[in-house]
Amino acid sequence: MGKKTIDIRNALREAIDEEMTRDDTVFILGEEVAEYNGAYKVTKGMLDKWGDKRVIDTPISENGFAGLAIGAAMTGLRPIVEFMSFNFSFVAFDQLVSNACKTHYMSGGRFKVPIVFRGPNGAAAQVSCQHSHCVEALYGNLPGFIIIAPSNAYDAKGLLKAAIRNDNPVIFLENELDYGKSMEIPDSEYVLEIGQGRVVKEGTDLTLISYSRMMQHCEEVVKHMASKGVSVELIDLRTVKPLDIPLILHSVKKTGRAVVVEEGHLFAGVASEVGFQIAEHAFDYLDAPVKRVCQMETPLPYSSVLEAETIPNPKRIIRAIEEII
Amino acid sequence: MTKKQEFIHSDTAKLRDSLGKEKLFDALRRMLLIRNFEVRAESAYQQGKIGGFFHAYIGQEAIQTAAVDAIGQDNWFITTYRCHALALLTGATPKEIMAELYGKAAGNAKGRGGSMHLYTDRLLGGFGIVGGHLPVATGAAFSLKYQGNKDSIAICFLGDGAVPQGAVHESLNLASLWDLPCIYVIENNQWGMGTASTRAVAAHPIGESLSKAYGIDNMLLDGMDYFNCYAGFLAAFKQVKETSRPMIIEAVTERFRGHSISDPGLYRTKEALQAAMTRDPIKHLVSDLEAGKMIDDSEYEALNKAQQDIAKASMKYADESPYPDLTVLEEDVMA
């Protein structure tokens, strides 16, 4: 099987393009996705290839077009909604919260909402308080959503294809700073299974759990700790919800220690959930308290030094590990 | 502030003759079914059989009945939490709706939705957030256009109270911008809960003002007059299908109950309510049919009694139906 090197941006485009080829009910809409070729160029060239019936520029009207896509999903189509930033999904919050994730249950199973909301999540480079929030803890609190947050091009492509084929509303979280991150992926088509984490590196002394962009810091920390003689097992969640709790427990039962790293805030976050489930299911195996490394409890400041400090960084992750090792 | 806009012209005698006794009798039958169903459901609520919110459509029956009669079943229907009538009109049975109100397993939405969230294969809901259903309706119209379906439209009912919501304006903008076949029906019952529409909406007449803002044709209907509504919906349906352009309809009506069952309606004088009730859409239709010698007192009584019996039977059915088995609680969260 052949391989090719691809960045996350192009991996995402391939996923969308392949699914649009496979299924003519799939279409994409959002601000600047067509004529502008995408704010981050994920949809570059797609208008030329597919035309304006299936690659649709919207006005700045998230509440309107997210809800429109939900209505389209309920009536036979499979929309992909691009949020230029997931922070703009807050303008459409009612549509996501009251309609997207509740309709299947509320309608007695009569109407499905097969839809993907995708776009960059979390902090980028100094975009300040209103453009940097991580949304997974907010949407993760709502039954009915699937939440996917890949950290590399292979996962991005395979999981986005799975998301488009899924009959549920999916929150698909990308990262602006990672769109250009490359790796080798198969030449041929593949689809990944939603809900499966991955052990990136095996280890024996401590389990380090994260996802999305924070995986890069974690990989650096794993190398650093190895040089100090500490063997860290690194898990990439890949799907935030449903959480691959068996994989996490299997690892923690082996290592007896866990640190969870989340770009988003500390209070009631994904790390809190992972940590609590470890406590619920593997308490007797723990040799130390589970530690969280999360964004501090501030809106995300503009200044580069403050930004770097409030977001989890290798220094803070190492400190957390050293506290329990 | 309020400039006079005329109701569209409709010729009751001519329409009455062309529709004929059978169809009109059936329209009256369904309006009586809605009325009797809700009156019975209110009594069940007072007995503690029904919980939660309960919003009656009493006083507004002519609008949705005429709409469904004029455009047919093969369309997408979307409405608010005041949805008992549209569910009945689009094919849900009184039994399954009453069972839903009672929270029973045999309910329309398996006891998960209640009064505000009813569905049929062509009714997308039953939406509980004021104005939040307009983008969804616009999406249903988008699907029809995407799928090349030129025979059907989406029709979305909203109250005057929804008009100040942003979702309404975003939807009208998108529908106009993208030529989507959706009729937005503003049922102006004068009150958004207890706030008069003149205290909530800046520009009146509501439909005409929105029409100018978004470049969408509009018409004003007498929501108490089945024939005026029928004529309007028929013309709108034809135009929307032909042009694939949206349409705004304002239907002027008045609800005879509070906003919900827990609202005693203290903001409205008794005299004002009594004046409105003289224009009861059911009485209006009956007198129109009497004028055409299509119904007499005994026929009306028999028809009304039959609908009462259906409503009562639905209560008995709901009462005797089992509650959902607790093991199904977590089913259907995911498709």
Residue pLDDT, tens place only, A57-98: 999 999 999 999 999 999 999 999 999 999 999 999 999 999
- Of B52, B55, B63, give the one whose Cα is nearest residue B89: B63
Tens-digit pLDDT profile for residues A216-268: 999 999 999 999 999 999 999 999 999 999 999 999 999 999 999 999 999 99
- Is residue B329 a part of any domain in this protein? no
pLDDT of B323 > 90? The answer is: yes
Give dist(CA A65, CA A318) in Å, integer.
Answer: 43
Active site residue A62: yes
Overall number of domains in chain B: 1
pLDDT at residue A249 in the model: 98
CA A285 to chain centre: 29
In a domain, B4, yes or no: no
| CATH code, domain carrying B163 | 3.40.50.970
Q: Does B124 map to a domain?
A: yes
Q: How far apart are CA A137 and CA A141, in angstroms?
A: 6
Mean predicted lDDT score pLDDT of chain A: 97
Q: Does residue A161 register a pLDDT over 90?
A: yes
- Contact state of B109 with A110 under an 8 Å Cβ cutoff: yes
Note the pLDDT tens digit of each residue in B77-102.
999 999 999 999 999 999 999 999 99
In a domain, B5, yes or no: no
Q: Of B121, B135, B333, which has the smallest distance from its Cβ to A68's Cβ?
A: B135
- Show the tokens assigned to A152: 């590399």
Residue B137 neighbours by CB distance under 10 Å: 31
Position B170 pLDDT exceeds 80: yes
Residue of A nearest to B171 (CA): A64
| CA B115 – CA B108 distance, rounded (Å) | 10
Q: Which of A313, A319, A122 is nearest to A218 (CA)?
A: A313
Q: Name the residue among B90, B92, B98 with its Cα closest to residue B41.
A: B98
Residue B115, amino acid: S
pLDDT for position A1: 75
Report the C-alpha gap between A9 and A132 in whole angstroms. 19
Bridge-based pairing of strands B182-188 and B247-252 is: parallel
Q: Which residues of A touch B244 (CB under 8 A)?
A: none
- Per DSSP, the residues of A135-165 read -HHHHHTSTT-EEE--SSHHHHHHHHHHHHH
A148 DSSP β-pair partners: A172, A239
How many Cβ atoms from other residues are within 10 Å of residue B301's Cβ?
Answer: 10
Q: Do B333 and A105 touch (CB under 8 A)?
A: yes
Contact B335 A114 (CB under 8 A): yes
Question: Mutual orientation of helices B94-101 and B297-320 as an angle, nearest 10°?
Answer: 50
Span B33-83, pLDDT tens digits = 999 999 999 999 999 999 999 999 999 999 999 999 999 999 999 999 999
Q: What is the DSSP letter of A101?
A: T
Cα A139 to chain centroid distance, Å, stands at 11
Does B326 reside within a domain?
no
- Is the pLDDT confidence value at A134 over 70? yes
- What SS3 string covers chain B? CCCCCCCCCCCHHHHHHHHHHHHHHHHHHHHHHHHHHHHHHHHHHHCCCCCCCCCCCCCCHHHHHHHHHHHCCCCEEEECCCCHHHHHHCCCCHHHHHHHHCCCCCCCCCCCCHHHCCCCCCEEEECCCCCCCHHHHHHHHHHHHHCCCCCCCEEEEEEHHHCCCHHHHHHHHHHHHCCCCEEEEEEECCEECCEEHHHCCCCCCHHHHHHHHHCCEEEEEECCCHHHHHHHHHHHHHHHHHHCCCEEEEEECCCCCCCCCCCCCCCCCHHHHHHHHCCCHHHHHHHHHHHCCCCCHHHHHHHHHHHHHHHHHHHHHHHHCCCCCHHHCCCCCCC
- B328 located within any domain: no
- pLDDT-above-70 percentage for chain B: 99
Surface-to-core class of residue A127, CB atoms within 10 Å of its CB (0-12 exposed, 13-18 middle, 19+ buried): middle
Peptide bond into B181 cis (omega under 30): no
pLDDT of A124 strictly over 60: yes
Residues of chain B with C-beta less than 8 angstroms from the C-beta of A72: 139-140, 142-143, 146
Residues 6+ apart with CB under 8 A from A189: A18
pLDDT category of residue B3 using cuts at 50, 70 and 90: low
Q: Which two tokens stand for residue A262?
A: 């989340």
Report CA Rg, chain B. Answer: 19
> Nearest by CB to B109, which of A63, A107, A143?
A107
Per DSSP, the three-state class of A191 is coil
Name the nearest CA neighbour of A278 among A325, A316, A235, A323: A235
Nearest to B24 by CA among B199, B286, B298, B269: B286
Report the C-alpha gap between A129 and A140 in whole angstroms. 21
Average pLDDT over residues B109-136: 97
Contact B295, B288 (CB under 8 A): no
pLDDT digits (tens, 9 = 90+) for B294-321: 999 999 999 999 999 999 999 999 999 9
Interface probe, candidates B80, B121, B143, B145, chain A, greatest A C-beta count within 10 A:
B143
3-state secondary structure of A200: strand
**Half-sphere exposure (Cβ direction) of A70: Cα atoms closer than 13 Å:** 31
- Nearest by CB to residue A99, choosing from B108, B136, B170, is B136
Give SS3 for A246.
helix
How many Å apart are CA B198 and CA B99, to the nearest integer? 38
Q: Is the pLDDT of residue B187 over 50?
A: yes
User: How far, CA to CA in Å, does B280 sit from each of A21, A24, B225, B277?
Assistant: 55, 49, 9, 5
Shortest CB distance from A71 goes to which of B113, B129, B136?
B136
Tell me whether residue A265 is one of the annotated catalytic residues: no
Q: Assess B244–A contact: CB distance below 8 Å, yes or no.
A: no
CA A320 → CA A204, A296, B27, distances in Å?
17, 14, 72
Cβ B146 vs Cβ A55: under 8 Å: no
Question: Rounded CA gap, A225 and A250, in Å?
Answer: 21
Confidence tier at B1 by pLDDT (50, 70, 90): very low
Q: Chain A within 8 Å of B166 (Cβ-Cβ)?
A: yes
Among A99, A101, A146, A171, which would you mutate to test the B interface (most chain B Cβ atoms within 10 Å of its Cβ)?
Answer: A99
Interface contact A104-B334, CB threshold 8 A? yes
| A323: helix, strand or coil | helix
What is the rounded average pLDDT of the residues A21-48?
A: 98
Query: Which DSSP category does A304 fall into?
Result: H
Other CB atoms within 10 A of residue A126 CB: 15
Amino acid code (one letter) for A256: G
* Residue B190 and residue B196 in contact, taking contact as beta carbons nearer than 8 Å: yes
Distance CA A293, CA B333 (A): 31
Say what the pLDDT of residue A95 is: 98
B309 in a domain, yes or no? yes
For residues B17 and B12, give the distance between their C-alpha atoms in angstroms, rounded to a whole number: 9
Residue B225 lies in a domain: yes
C-alpha pair distances (Å), B290 with each of A51, A162, B286, B305: 57, 62, 6, 18
**Given the residues A104, A131, A217, A265, the one annotated as active site:** A131
* Domain ranges, residue B216: 12-319
3-state secondary structure A31-98: CCCCCCCCCCCCCCCHHHHHCCCCEEECCCCHHHHHHHHHHHHHCCCEEEEECCCHHHHHHHHHHHHH
Tokens of B135: 């983008």
Is pTM beyond 0.90 here?
yes
